[in-house]
Structure 1
């Protein structure tokens, strides 16, 4: 095997020796709340409110005399005043959307400066439609509206308080503890005027005990108002203090989830207690965190300010659209309630309250706001092989050859930064990659693709066309003051960054991927079989504060980097994906992997959990992180198999392949200092086990692709924690080491500990579950039940929920594109009442023709006769019955069951049907209205029995039915 080329290795090691801080996280690399002025101020306000004055009331009140209703009376606007700063004006707008989502917006009016108010522009897929069916009732002390099934939204005036109720129970309370504080703009020399004490009321007399209420509220001294320093960096703050504190409480919900990205459990632990790893708020501040701790509130690469709150009675959500650094404290104040405080450095209050009341409702409500993940290319669901770095065209060819020699399937080979000449992306190092197009074509010749990294930092070099074009267009981020291009240090050395907030940058960047356009320089050494990896887009700046860009840098529109930092990473994959779509004569679905993300990033591609370590702890927490990302709208997610750093022993690597094979995004990756660990290098029996895992993933691609279709329409995650599938079962609310795959009925619990031979799996219901591999029947219970299943190294706990039908393709292939005409196997797992259901979705997997109805979408149903034991298994067209929701919410008004794609796979057959859990041996099996079929029956436990054991199995050989046709098979008792 080849090793890293001398020139590439030398340049990389020189850079790493210059920048040792990038090699591992140090205690001082990233701030804590106590080291961040605005977080200190927000947390201090919470402490004072809790301990200082028992009768504390928020100073913010709605002025009822200014309230104005919209013409349809479904929204209102009003002025808000602060009793502490009566001359400062604020505006409040409350809207109720058609789906019951409430939007609360508050901004400073006529201030000395303007607060950043464009975060929703990037996050939302469209401006939500306001309801036309509700009307506010305006009283003297509040405004309220009742809607839906038992919902009521209440806005109290003095003090300002917003409450969502359902059935009279409080679901969400905003500013209930009086922690709302929108720091207004002020002159630097401003001296706070004394507050005149009121003489009315006992509560006011209590407040009088504080010498200066204003000083009490904001603190007795200016704390990092105009500048602050950290780790040798000074952040100037020309606009002064502008942070936003907000308390959002869930009085009847003990579990909260979301706000990724953090390496922690799915159900978020308290951050205000004594736990040393959880005594800081959860931080949302996209950062390049090498070797992150496997259990902490530390910010990582992406930020989605979305939180779910859940109880057995309901699920609600809050989505606070803010793009600046945000800290979130979580306190489980009792066995049934949760308090949170959100502290953001800048921006307006733009809060969406998602009423649920079910998890599915919350997913749909959020998806209508920010969009769903589009249906990816089918090949993107296969196995991806990556390393920093495959060092030459010969290296790539050699890796591909070894995969084929070892009969291991793989769909994608990846190239990291060393492919490029001096880290000038789009330009090949011709010493190591003399024939890149030929290499790409060699990979494509056997049905595979390549992914090449393109990072956002641009080498500052006059011989680099990308730099010169960006400079000429004046689309580069500016340093403090807004006049000079910002210069920072990254892999190429001295670098600049394209300001993707500038609209002029979009066409420029997208056109770089199109070798056929003639207006400017573009990437001619490429093909349409190459896709893109956008890394380092937090942005990562090696010599910047917290390894990122200074907050006082200036972007398009004059906004400071502090205002948009968390949004920054989402625009690059957007314009990259656009370039990939536009480069061909026939538009093909793009694939872009991003490390940094924000709400709405799901619209542009996949993400992964960053630079993890090859440890058991990181394997386990990576699973939890993929679940957290999934429920926050980023379903195409996964963690690097094997860990980016380190050299996992064979047992760990095998277990990690199981974890990866049951994640939506399945990629192995490794640091340049690690030993080569492609799966074919393993000794037996490990190599054979991994081969089987890869083949298992490929056999189940129809299940994964069908799950992606559902996600693209509904917003439901692809991998689903227990609270999503069983929202009324408290035993499963904190479960995050086992999960369901789509609506398939597959329950998986990857093993993430060493030396395991058996594993405990929780079954949440009185239903039969079958072992996927052995057909062993396990029985749940009405109140839940733990079972013990085999989990030796070659095994993964994988159960099929009774009542499921799974379509698979069992013929081993070396790439998914070679499976398109393969026959299907249907596995019918009968439930306690001998019923089952499943779906299969197919299209060409490459183009956008599915949006025009070029699809096959089937429903399979097994039903037992009301009297007797005969079971009828049937297939019917689903797309014709659901034209409004077939794919990506595109209405298929002209859908034709005999569309050209359906005709193209007209000969694709079902080669085998396996029915598990039949009551008894059949007397006959036949196609309805047709001939008798060949079958075998092995007696065993029936689905409806109470005992456990190996289930009965009926195998129907060559049932003579096509997968895209209507048919029925009758299994007579």
Structure 2
């Protein structure tokens, strides 16, 4: 209910709630609904497989799409059956889209249009329609033939849709007969549509409107995706014999100190599931932003019919999808390889944005750096301890009374000068801007939003009034395009007084979090622009807020500079906007370990720019845990340390030696690898393939890798294995494939296809370079990444069994959008038959030019077998360089199979060759 109508005792309780440190809100399961407390989930789970509920009729091909109607053969409430509309649409790259909706009847108020999620599907998709080869209509089915022997079969009665290739099924919709579409209806006398949970009541004025169905992934070994959950990468069965787990929940929630190995929903939701086997990868995406629950059904699950129409296949994975509202708007992706899925999915929801270069480096944050003196002290201590960093963050208490777009005048009296002092060292600042706006008539943002009617409304038509960090708060209605535009304007230098061009933004609490709301969120019967209930838009609210904020930074630079905005809440499409992180984790070894599958799961569902709070947001890590976290997190795409207000300070130097050196080395390793990471960000921007990848993405035929999530690939070249237990002295590392791997601590080579036992000390975690790859690095320590712009490069060449290798480097100005007009350097390096060559990739300029004077100052070759007296010849110029046997990457203890070429001094931007003799 709105705060203004709450009893006085409740007001006092809520006020006290905001004064208590957030750490007291550890996980309390009873605060959140489970399936049995969620009527639509309980109802869907109780459904038995049946194929006599729906029948398809009036099938017709119209403008290249297949249209039909679905007739419910029986209804739950006894009302006459009303047909549903069905559309099958076909896009290039063999993407199939299915839409099922109510037939709109303008005269019937209960048949108003159901919500369809905007601003997710790429506009360019509609111009990429696929011409179908033929349509064959039979008595009981219609068969649409596409290229490459792909067919889509619409079975009329019983209703089912499946995709097959060469007569083998790939994906099926309603193969189990669990499809149910609850149509809106007039409220009858005696109907009670309200739902109650704890002290909250949902009026549900439009009644029940749930949807459920089953999807079968044929021939699958595992399924993955549907983040965000703190669980293993390969999704576990949730229903089946002796399995009583909750379904995976997709409902954006502010969950304090979440527990690992739980299907419970967290801060973001991406309803995209992938399957994988050695034979094929497939994917399924449901564009729906209401609460969703998904079961992964084990063979023999309750109601499983082994005598169904198709022969029961033990290697199928059946899933049940359940949503409170919305429509069926689903996409089938047929792969066949994992990277094909990412290309197909991001062609629908958008490619990841290309971040500014500084954002790919190390970020330092806590709640809160208390004043300007504290900021400058921390900044100076990084320099004193020779530790690089690029971004310093300010949390909510840098503001005037938690009014966003302000600086506390007593604590931060000179914000521009403070930011400039950081900028003079090539560093940046990020400040937090949350969606809850303090209800203070003297606060210009609240005053404008109130006068313009820009807030979300409660069920009674008043501005929604909830409780969050500022106290009484209201929330901008980000479903309204006019509000999005207004919000973006708030980031101008005139509106955000004290901000500068080196200031960027952090969106937190945008699930949205409401301390006194049901499940710490906004009531579902709140109302958005267009008379849309919050229940329909809940999971996409944070994405719209993120999008409007990024638009604000884009406008601030006149469209010139790439924005950087971090968001906690996310949805499909968030990859187009900016970075996300995994939320309020804890300083525990289990949370360190689970961060890896969480980040991997986000990457394979489109969100490349993601990480977890280094050291854990809650709690106090001991020196060993903090060191291990830094060593692992140096390979997250987004690398940020962050901590709660009540934690002990833990800046990288505070634990003393030897831990300061260990952490310094980990951060410096990230900086050395920035050329490689930035190249991978560009690959993600072009293809959708993530930076941090599960092993099976690079080794799709190797079954040993399918359930692994303690080790991972950074790009196609580096394999990383974390250390996840206190006092570990060795790790068992699996090296996939049949080629060579080089341990980068020693330079030793190992064959792939088996486990090896790797001794570990506190100085590093296991890291291997794949034979056949070339990695660009920059080895000179600097204060920040911007001071490395003109530094020379090192190439590390790891030869395969054929004594060959290849790699790439991508370089642009690191800031603007000029790269989109051809202003970049993209080079390919190949080593074959003893010769290293550099050649250009996609060298179109289109009027924009980017140049670099950086040289390659060193080349390290692993796996080369030559006499120690050998040398190399550089062309052009016919210059001779001696080969040296030396340590790898300035590391001591290197074995003698690394050869070093010093100062070849060839330009990174030009064609050249170096012949090793």
Do they fold alike, i.e. is TM over 0.5? Answer: yes
Q: Does 1:860 align with 2:829?
A: yes
Q: Once the two structures are superposed, what CA deviation does each residue of 1:472-510 show, in whole Å capped at 9, x if it has no partner?
A: 2211100004x2111000001000000011111122111
CA gap of 1:929–1:541, structure 2 versus 1, over 3 A, is closer
SS at match of 1:375: coil
- Pair 1:345-2:343 in alignment: no
Asked whether the 8 Å contact 2:14–2:467 carries over to 1, the reply is no
Q: Secondary structure at the match of 2:18?
A: helix
Contact 2:653 2:659 in 1 (8 A): no
Q: Distance in 1 between matches of 2:382 and 2:465?
A: 43
SS of residue in 2 equivalent to 1:122: coil
After superposition, the C-alpha distances for 1:174-200 in whole angstroms (9 at most, x for unaligned) are 101111000111233279xxxxxxxxx
Indicate how the Cα distance of structure 1 residues 368 and 878 shifts in structure 2: closer, same or farther if over 3 A, else same: same
Alignment of 1:291-440 (within 5 A): 291-333=257-299, 336-440=315-419
Q: Secondary structure at the match of 1:402?
A: helix
C-alpha distance in 2 between matches for 1:785 and 1:147: 41
- Matches for 1:555-954 after TM superposition, within 5 Å: 555-585=528-558, 587-743=560-716, 745-780=717-752, 784-864=753-833, 871-880=834-843, 883=844, 894=846, 900-902=849-851, 905=852, 907-921=853-867, 923-938=870-885, 950=895, 952-954=897-899
- Deviations for 1:539-594, whole angstroms, at most 9, x for unmatched residues? 00000000000000000000100011001110111111111111135721110000
Residues 1:242 and 2:187 are matched in the alignment: no
| 2:89 is the alignment partner of 1:95 | yes
The change in CA–CA distance for 1:704 and 1:95 in structure 2 (over 3 A counts) is same
Match of 1:957 among 889, 902, 909: 902
Contact map agreement 1:837 1:862 (CA 8 A) in 2: yes
2-side partners of 1:411 and 1:275: how far apart? 51
Greater Cα offset, 266-275 or 325-334? 266-275
Q: Judge conservation of contact 1:267–1:734 (CA < 8 Å) in 2.
A: yes
1:158 equivalenced with 2:157 (yes/no): yes
Question: Shift of the alpha carbon at 1:82?
Answer: 0.7
Q: Secondary structure at the match of 1:789?
A: strand
Question: Would the aligned equivalents of 2:239 and 2:298 in 1 still touch at CA under 8 Å?
Answer: no
Give the secondary structure class of the aligned counterpart of 1:424: coil
Give the CA deviation at 1:273: 4.2
Q: CA deviation at 1:939?
A: 9.8
How far does the alpha carbon of each residue in 1:328-376 deviate from its partner, in whole angstroms, 9 at most, with x for none? 0002327522110000000111110011111111111001001111110
Residue 764 of structure 1 and its aligned partner are, at CA, apart by 1.6
Contact 2:837 2:913 (C-alpha < 8 Å) held by counterparts: yes
Summarize the Cα distance change of 1:344–1:365 in structure 2 as closer, same or farther, 3 Å threshold.
Answer: same
**Counterpart in 1 of 2:143?**
144
SS at match of 2:380: helix
Q: CA RMSD in A?
A: 2.0
Partner in structure 2 of residue 197 of structure 1: none
Measure, in 1, the Cα distance between the counterparts of 2:52 and 2:781.
65
Per the TM alignment, residue 122 of structure 1 is displaced from its structure 2 partner at its CA by: 3.2
Deviations 1:132-168 (A, max 9, x none): 2533222221111232333221110012101111232
Aligned length: 877
Q: Which deviates more from structure 2 when the two are superposed, residues 462-471 or residues 158-167? A: 158-167
| Counterpart-to-counterpart distance in 2, 1:591 and 1:116 | 34
Do the aligned partners of 1:623 and 1:737 also contact (CA within 8 Å) in 2?
Answer: yes
Greater shift in the superposed pair: 661-670 or 87-96: 87-96
The answer to whether the 8 Å contact 1:226/1:238 transfers is: yes
> Does the aligned pair in 2 maintain the 1:802–1:836 contact within 8 Å?
yes
The Cα offsets for residues 20-75 of structure 1, whole Å up to 9 and x where unpaired, read as 89722212111100110111111111xx33xxxxxx32411111xx222123xx32
Partner SS for 2:794: strand
User: Take 2:199 and 2:652, find their aligned partners in 1: how far apart are those partners?
Assistant: 44
C-alpha distance in structure 1 between counterparts of 2:100 and 2:85, whole Å: 5
| 1:753-792 deviation per Cα after TM superposition (whole angstroms, max 9, x unaligned) | 2111221111122111001232111112xxx211112321
TM-score in terms of structure 2 length = 0.93
Residue 5 of structure 2 aligns with which residue?
A: none
Deviations 1:890-935 (A, max 9, x none): xx6x27xxx6421xx2x31100011111122264311135334333
**Alignment correspondent of 2:55:** 61
The CA distance in 2 between the partners of 1:497 and 1:570, in whole Å, is 14
Structure 1 residue 857: Cα displacement: 0.5
Distance in 2 (CA, whole Å) between partners of 1:174 and 1:937 is 62
The answer as to 2:74 corresponding to 1:108 is no
Q: What SS class does the counterpart of residue 899 from structure 2 fall into? A: strand
Deviation at residue 19 of structure 1 after TM alignment: 8.8
Gaps of 5+ in 1: 1-10, 50-55, 192-221, 517-521, 865-870, 884-891, 942-948
Alpha-carbon distance in 2 for matches of 1:528, 1:832 = 50
In the superposition, relative to structure 1, how do residues 311 and 58 fare at CA in structure 2: closer, same or farther (>3 Å)?
farther
Q: 1:473 aligned to 2:452?
A: yes
- Contact 2:403–2:443 (8 Å) recurs in 1: yes
Query: CA separation in 1, counterparts of 2:315 and 2:896?
Result: 41
1:427 Cα deviation after fit: 1.4
**Cα distance between partner residues in 1 of 2:905 and 2:405:** 51
- For residues 380 and 16 of structure 2, what CA distance do their matches in structure 1 show? 33
TM-score (norm 1): 0.88
In structure 1, the partner of 2:10 is none
Q: 1:301 to 1:938 in 2, by over 3 A?
A: same
- More deviation, 411-420/910-919: 910-919
Q: Counterpart of 1:122?
A: 120
Residues 934 and 957 in structure 1, CA contact (< 8 A), matched pair in contact too: yes
Is the contact made by 1:920 and 1:939 (CA closer than 8 Å) also made in structure 2? no
Q: Is residue 452 of structure 1 aligned with residue 424 of structure 2?
A: no
Q: Quick one: distance in 1 between partners of 2:636 and 2:842?
A: 27
Q: Kindly indicate whether the alpha-carbon contact (under 8 Å) linking 1:115 and 1:348 is maintained by their aligned counterparts in 2.
A: no
Q: Secondary structure at the match of 2:289?
A: coil
The answer for the alignment partner of 1:79 in structure 2 is 69
Deviation at 1:127, TM superposition (A): 4.1
Shift of 1:638: 0.4
Distance in 2 (CA, whole Å) between partners of 1:577 and 1:837 is 36
1:226 paired to 2:202: no
Q: Of 235, 248, 253, which residue of structure 1 is paired with 2:220? A: 253
State how far apart, in whole Å, the 2-side matches of 1:174 and 1:848 are: 42
Using a 3 Å threshold, how does the CA distance of structure 1 residues 878 and 956 change in structure 2: closer, same or farther? same
Structure 1 residues 777 and 330, CA gap change in structure 2 (3 angstroms): same
Q: 1:17 to 1:526 in 2, by over 3 A?
A: closer
